């Protein structure tokens, strides 16, 4: 199986594409601060998922935990975008639901990596 075929990568990739579509509606003063942090967190998550998919079972756990931490950071920044009204509630819910799905997948991957 190709590391780009795993469901968590596909969903994270789609989350980035969705976030990127919202870029043009984010006010300029938020686009280069909070929104940029959201983008970077998500890019880091994608990178960590790719890294974990190519690591041995023993090496995966720290990488997956780091991805989980980055996902939590992403969630905080997305909530902040909503709270400062740079992002409407409907778009926030879309991003949050996708992040929740990724979190569940990541949690399962972390649990299965602990069993080794």
In tens, the pLDDT along 30-78 reads 999 999 999 999 999 999 999 999 999 889 999 999 999 999 999 999 9
Across 8-23, average pLDDT = 97
94: its two tokens: 């879309």
Span 89-102, average pLDDT: 98
Task: Give 2's pLDDT tier (boundaries 50, 70, 90).
Answer: low
Q: What pTM was estimated for this model as a whole?
A: 0.93
Query: What pLDDT, on the 0 to 100 scale, is given for residue 48?
Result: 97
Q: What is the per-residue burial (b if ≥16 Cβ within 10 Å, else e) of 7-30?
A: ebbebbeebbeebeebeeebeeeb
Domains and CATH numbers, the chain: 7-114 (1.20.1440.60)
Give the integer Cα–Cα distance in Å for 92 and 101: 14
């Amino acid at each position: 199986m190709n590391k780009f075929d795993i469901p968590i990568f596909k969903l994270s990739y789609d989350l980035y594409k969705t976030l990127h579509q919202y870029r043009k509606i984010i006010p300029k003063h938020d686009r280069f601060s909070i929104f940029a942090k959201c983008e970077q967190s998500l890019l880091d998550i994608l990178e960590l998922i790719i890294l974990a998919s190519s690591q041995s079972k023993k090496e995966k756990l720290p990488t997956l935990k780091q991805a989980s931490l980055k996902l939590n950071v992403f969630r905080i920044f997305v909530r902040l975008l909503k709270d400062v009204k740079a992002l409407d509630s409907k778009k926030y819910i879309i991003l949050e639901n996708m992040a929740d799905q990724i979190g569940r997948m990541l949690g399962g991957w972390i649990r299965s990596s602990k069993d080794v």
